[in-house]
Structure 1
Amino acid sequence: MTHHTMTHTKKRLAATAAATALVVGAVGVISAQAASPAAGTTSSGGATAGTDPADRNLTRSTHLTVAAATKAAQAGLDAAAEEGQKVSVAVVDRNGNTLVTLRGDGAGPQSYVSAERKAFTAVSWNAPTSSLAGRLSQAPNLKDIPGTLFLPGGVPVQSKGAPIAGIGVAGAPSGDLDEKFARAGLAALKQ
């Protein structure tokens, strides 16, 4: 075997090893994301470095299931219907992605988007939107952040103090009512 052939073979073996490591790493990330939180997670839902050096490149987070999001949205919609209110209810995940949106019979066309934006705002700041609305007087540019809506009616869903989802309600004649119905959705998750 010539020196050139041996060098070429070594390069191919190194490339094959790198590709194998990449695939194994990707499978590990997918498995870590699919697994439920395990030892090594902090109380805020983040990950700590484990004994495996590859763990330092991973993070774990807690997500609400679609079934739980649907339960919360339906509970908010039911609470509004009991009071004769026509609303939309949205539930977003920790990343602000919509999991479920239910538009109640007769709810206004703007309520659908408003509910999603309130849920997004609540999870982004880990606070009810009613408390965030007051921040606009000190920082009016907050309203310019895409996807946000600083009106009452959004509440965060937390796990060990960390936000994992947001519930937003829109369409009632007042933000206080919207927030009351969002809180009914939150209460349903604790049953």
Structure 2
Amino acid sequence: MTTPDQSNSTRKRLIIGGAAAAVVAAGVIGVVSVNAQDPDPGSKTPVVADVANGNLQQSTHLTIAAATKAAQAALDAAVKENQHVTVAVVDRDGNTIVTLRGDGAGPQSYSSAQEKAFTAVSWNAPTSQLAKRLDGAPHLADIKGTLFLAGGAPVAAKGGAPIAGIGVAGAPSGDQDERFAQAGVAALGN
């Protein structure tokens, strides 16, 4: 014999189970109906942007080979001076292309090199110059992913537009870091 509490418990389970089944069924039907509306999305003609109307913009990016060459040149310059650094090269959008962590480089140098490279390319200026701007605009340092310490150098295309940034971190002074970053820029012929 079942008690009223057991009967209510069974009803609740049946109601909850039925509701859950209805939700799942509705989702399946929705997916099927969406797929039925467009059975072959690949058969559509692609939309072509009208280049004559100025809808497209080209940007220049370093190849991985060029970024690696620059990073290696910066690291080699540091090794010649017996410095243990990390070198990062980022593209125009601040995305890391390559990072080389030298033997004995400190753990903080990895992210610092990337942030210096990002800062240099973002403002198209060496980070030593940008650090001086903090006196007049201290809130610049609050921008996520930036580091206003010497050691970052921009890479510019012909015409001066920034295309990459090289950041070096780990030497005892930012001046040394920046000199090594400039060696990476020089390796690219800038």
TM-score by length of 2: 0.74
Q: What is the alpha-carbon distance in structure 2 between the residues aligned to residue 143 and residue 190 of structure 1?
A: 31
Query: Aligned letter for 1:90?
Result: A
Corresponding residue number in structure 2 for 1:41 = none
RMSD: 2.0
From 88, 94, 97, the equivalent of 2:95 is: 97
5+ unaligned residues in a row in structure 1: which ranges?
1-11, 29-48
Q: How far, CA to CA, are the matches of 1:164 and 1:172 in structure 2?
A: 25
Q: Secondary structure at the match of 1:89?
A: strand
Question: In the alignment, what sits opposite 2:65?
Answer: 67
Q: Whole-Å Cα distance in 1 between the matches of residues 134 and 146 of structure 2?
A: 12
**TM-superposed deviation, 1:97:** 0.2
Secondary structure of the 2:134 match is: helix
- Inter-partner Cα distance in structure 2 for 1:136 and 1:168: 19
1:70-89 correspondence runs (5 A): 70-89=68-87
Match of 1:20 in 2: 45
Deviations for 1:110-144, whole angstroms, at most 9, x for unmatched residues? 00100000000000000000000011111111011
State the match for 2:189 in structure 1: 190
Query: Which position in structure 2 is the counterpart of 1:42?
Result: none
1:21 is displaced (CA, Å) by 3.6
**Larger Rg, first or second structure (1 or 2):** 2
What is aligned with 1:143? Answer: 141
- Aligned counterpart, 2:5: none
CA positional deviation for 1:102: 0.3
Give TM-score scaled by structure 1 length: 0.74
**What's the CA shift for 1:20?**
1.1
Moved over 2 A (4+): none
Q: Which residue of 2 aligns with 1:175?
A: 174
Percent identity over the alignment is 70
Residues 84-109 of structure 1 show CA distances to partners (whole Å, capped at 9, x for unaligned) of 00000000000000000000000000
Gaps of 5+ in 2: 1-36
CA distance in 1, matches of 2:189, 2:137: 34
2:152 to 132, 146, 154: 154
